[in-house]
Structure 1
Amino acid sequence: MTLTPRTERTRAALIDRAERMIAERGTGVSLREISAAAGQRNHSAAQYHFGSREGLIEAVVATRSAEIDRRRGALLADLDGAVGAAGTVGATVGATVEELVAALVDPWVELLGAEEPSYSLRFLAQVLDDPDLERALADSDDPPAGLRTINRGLARRLQHLGSGDLTRRLTWTHAVALRVLAHEERLGTRPGPGLAAVRDDLVGMLAALLRAPAPATGRVPETPA
């Protein structure tokens, strides 16, 4: 369905306002409140355009995920080029755990360094803390392409883990990264040594989490080449 420019502007305003209000107040904020805050005289505008609270939240997630995934795709392409120049084909084959974790984390870190205040990370953290919404969103679509590529690359580097342990570690990695950076977003971290230190520390910590010995065998993984 082709949307008119006016409809696109209305939907964008509702998405922006929903993201900020949910980030600040939680997922219980009503559609009428969001419509009013977005400047809509019809306070049922969010209901009209998205059908339900879940529909609006899914639209926010889809919009922001697409933006983040485009950035992850660019980072992976750069990594492909750097790794290829070193004689190995493909980032997911030759990249280290740290490089792949950085591709996961860096687009979120860049939000914290932007001129305009970000609400995306707090919004996502609020959604993940709502069990009903988390389940609904988890069942809705496959992970974005960039995230799938990162997960595949990490799986190749973490063959000491069984499939269940790997799935759990990847889930934890995403959750920990998001919540740490949502906390930094709340604090209002800005560009500079402080933000760079947060990024580097987070990447190192998550890489260590992923490389830790498998719980069943205690076997220490080989150091990546």
Structure 2
Amino acid sequence: MNAIIRLTDAKEALVRAAEKLIAERGLDAVSDREIARAAGQKNNSAVQYHFGDRAGLINAILDFRMIPLNQKRHEMLDELLNRKEPPTTRDLVKVLLLPYMENLKTSREDSSYTSLVSQLFQRGNQQILAMDPPRSSSLVRMTEAFATTLPHLSVKERHARLTFMGSMVVHTVARWDQQCRLDPETWTPEHIVQQTRFLIEFLAGGMDQDALQREPESRS
């Protein structure tokens, strides 16, 4: 399956200009006209012409970035689940995180979209990702796999930890993308690899921790 999303030159220019401006200034601080100008479009209504409206542009960005990322996760899961030994929690955390980090490490121009995803999460719009199978079907498989590595957790607690981890990953990667642009001398590919290792261990440790036994507070 080829997960590369093909866009016309004009649409791709608009997508790339929009995600860069949104990362630098915020979703509400960028006008469609500014996006068109940054994309080299003479028509100030280029966003409406090519995508219908701002929501259409946002969905195009998410498709352009998240569908290939989703397919990469499927490939990683296939490799994991076809091994003789069962996957560990740490293995599954890597499947969630590493596709994000690969863009951040290899191409700074292809990681700005993470800021948009983070902003959508902050607004409570994560359902725009979760309810779209081409963007997130791999997450369903991951959730099922986590159930086998974390059998000691109740369904409710496992879901809560997965939700928290997903949110942490999105916001952390978006912040690292910003740091890469602000301080490229520090945020080298080697530094990103090191920070990624730390984050994997932190997340795997949190997911693997035994369920907390909460006892009622005694009152004198």
What TM-score results when the alignment is normalised by the length of structure 2?
Answer: 0.81
1:66 aligns with 2:63: no
* Contact persistence 1:27–1:130 (CA under 8 A): no
Name the aligned partner's letter for residue 190 of structure 1: T
Find the partner of 1:122 among 115, 131, 138. 115
1:1-225 → structure 2 map (5 Å cutoff): 8-28=8-28, 29-81=30-82, 83-84=83-84, 88=85, 94-117=86-109, 118-131=111-124, 134=125, 137-138=128-129, 140-142=131-133, 144-188=136-180, 189-192=187-190, 194-215=191-212
Name the aligned partner's letter for residue 126 of structure 1: Q
CA gap 1:174/1:136 in 2 versus in 1, 3 angstroms: closer
* TM-fit CA distance, 1:31: 1.6
* Contact persistence 1:23–1:122 (CA under 8 A): yes
Unaligned 5+ segments in structure 2 are 1-6, 181-186, 216-220
Over the residues paired in the alignment, what is the CA RMSD in angstroms?
2.2
CA distance in structure 2 between the partners assigned to 1:121 and 1:156 by the alignment: 29
CA distance in structure 2 between the partners assigned to 1:187 and 1:135 by the alignment: 23
Aligned length: 200
* Contact persistence 1:158–1:166 (CA under 8 A): yes
List per-residue Cα deviations over 1:9-45 (Å, max 9, x = no partner): 2111111111111111111122222112111111111
* TM-fit CA distance, 1:79: 2.3
* TM-fit CA distance, 1:208: 1.7
* TM-fit CA distance, 1:212: 2.6
CA gap 1:136/1:178 in 2 versus in 1, 3 angstroms: closer
What TM-score results when the alignment is normalised by the length of structure 1?
Answer: 0.80
* TM-fit CA distance, 1:138: 4.9
Aligned to 1:222: none
Report sequence identity in percent.
29
* Contact persistence 1:112–1:190 (CA under 8 A): no
List per-residue Cα deviations over 1:86-134 (Å, max 9, x = no partner): xx4xxxxx10000010011111111121144331222221222234xx1
CA gap 1:212/1:139 in 2 versus in 1, 3 angstroms: closer
CA distance in structure 1 between the partners assigned to 2:46 and 2:59 by the alignment: 16
CA gap 1:72/1:116 in 2 versus in 1, 3 angstroms: same
